[in-house]
């Protein structure tokens, strides 16, 4: 029987690549995001039998509920939830950052992820399904300007591990994927739409691609059912760690 994945943030970057990857491997995918035109293009390219689209703001719980309530019967049995929708806003240190940006990151990366997971968990338990959550290296390694973004991703990692505990014995797999630099629209979004800033960050860095992460997610999702990858951290070879900083008088 064909398995069904529910992928948030499917209009761009990692999520869009994941739709292609999973459909290519024979899965059916419910692809979601706010930009309905991009979802329609995805469905047109891959076919309505393989891709069902739901356009909603993941942070709008009423919109999420309405979208889920309207799922056709043949799309209601979800085997895999990929909580990928998310964003960083701003690169300023905390004392100069925008509180509105912080609220948006928490609403999207934390509150919305938790609410959608809560909504789909009973079905995932019934089907002994799986959850893949998109955390980040920013969950583990702090950097200047990462403040609330890193905090949201640390939550995603710890929530994933907590889910593993709560789902003990239920046969549901949960994985926190924690990538470093992946070239997507992420930096353009973070910098308020600056393609120049995005190009400058990735130039010469040979960053990971959205396809790299999508292929990793498919690998995680298709391991033998007795295997669970708890956390998986990836970086491009060009990215590594810097030391502590010391302020001197
Ligand atoms: P993109 O900006 O390319 O994609 C982000 C996706 O999230 C889009 O499809 C966007 O859809 C969706 N999204 C954002 N806000 C909302 C919302 N309120 N409602 C619904 N959908 C939303 O970035 P990436 O592909 O890089 O990011 C995907 C995930 O990977 C994020 O969680 C990010 O934090 C994480 N990540 C990214 C890394 C990177 O270096 N790129 C590294 C580590 C983790 P739309 O705008 O159409 O709603
Ligand atoms: C995004 C990765 O290194 O830009 O989650 O914080 S990084």
For domain 4-233, the CATH class is: alpha beta
CA of 84 to the centre of ligand 1 (A): 6
Residue from 181, 184, 226 nearest 207 by CA:
181
Q: Is the CB of 87 under 6 A from ligand 1?
A: yes
Which of 115, 186, 238 for a ligand 1 pocket mutation test, highest count of atoms within 8 Å of Cβ?
Answer: 186
**pLDDT band, residue 243 (cuts 50/70/90):** confident
Q: From the candidates 141, 143, 149, 202, which is the catalytic residue?
A: 149
Q: Where are the domains of the chain?
A: 4-233
pLDDT at residue 249 above 90? yes
Tokens 């929530």 found at: 159
Nearest to 135 by CA among 20, 213, 63: 213
Integer CA distances (angstroms), 2 to 7, 22, 39, 173, in order: 16, 11, 21, 18
Ligand 1 near 12 CB (within 6 A): yes
Distance 168 CA to ligand 2 centre (A): 30
Calculate how far, in angstroms, residue 13's C-alpha sits from the geometric centre of ligand 2.
Answer: 14
Strands laid side by side in the 28-33 sheet: 51-55, 28-33, 4-7, 80-83, 130-134, 173-179, 231-234
CA-closest residue to ligand 2 atom 6 = 138
Nearest protein Cα to ligand 2, atom 5: 136
Q: Which residue, judged by its Cα, is nearest atom 3 of ligand 2?
A: 180
d(CA 113, CA 61): 10
Q: Which residues surround ligand 2 with Cβ inside 6 Å?
A: 136-138, 146, 180-181
User: In this predicted complex, what is the ipTM?
Assistant: 0.98
Q: Give the alpha-carbon dihedral of 140, 248, 90, 18, to 10 degrees.
A: -20
Residue nearest to atom 2 of ligand 2 (CA): 180
pLDDT digits (tens, 9 = 90+) for 194-203: 999 999 999 9
What is the pLDDT of the chain when averaged over all its residues?
98
Chain segment 168-227, per-residue pLDDT in tens: 999 999 999 999 999 999 999 999 999 999 999 999 999 999 999 999 999 999 999 999
**Residue 149 is among the residues annotated as catalytic for this protein:** yes
- Would you give the distance in Å from CA 92 to the centre of its chain? 23
Q: Examine the pLDDT at 1 and tell me if it is beyond 80.
A: no
């Amino acid at each position: 029987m064909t398995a069904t994945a529910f992928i948030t943030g499917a209009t761009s970057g990692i999520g869009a690549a994941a739709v292609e990857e999973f459909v290519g491997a024979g899965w059916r995918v419910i692809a979601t995001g706010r930009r309905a035109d991009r979802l329609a293009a995805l469905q047109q390219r891959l076919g309505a039998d393989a891709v069902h689209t739901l356009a909603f703001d993941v942070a709008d719980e009423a919109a999420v509920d309405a979208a889920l309530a309207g799922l056709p019967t043949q799309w209601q049995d979800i085997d895999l939830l990929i909580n990928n929708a998310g964003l960083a806003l701003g690169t300023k240190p905390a004392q100069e950052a925008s509180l509105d940006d912080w609220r948006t990151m928490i609403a999207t990366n934390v509150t919305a992820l938790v609410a959608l997971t809560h909504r789909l968990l009973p079905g995932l338990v019934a089907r002994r399904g799986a959850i893949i959550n998109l955390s980040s290296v920013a969950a583990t390694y702090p950097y200047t300007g990462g403040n609330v973004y890193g905090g949201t991703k640390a939550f995603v990692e710890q929530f994933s591990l907590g889910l593993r505990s709560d789902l003990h014995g239920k046969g549901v797999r949960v994985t926190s994927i924690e990538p470093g630099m992946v070239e997507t629209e992420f930096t353009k979004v973070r910098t308020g739409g600056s393609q120049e800033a995005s190009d400058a960050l990735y130039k010469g860095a040979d960053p990971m691609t959205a396809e790299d992460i999508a292929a990793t997610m498919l690998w995680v999702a298709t391991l033998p059912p007795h295997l669970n990858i708890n956390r998986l951290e990836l970086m491009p070879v060009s990215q590594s760690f810097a030391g502590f900083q010391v302020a001197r008088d």
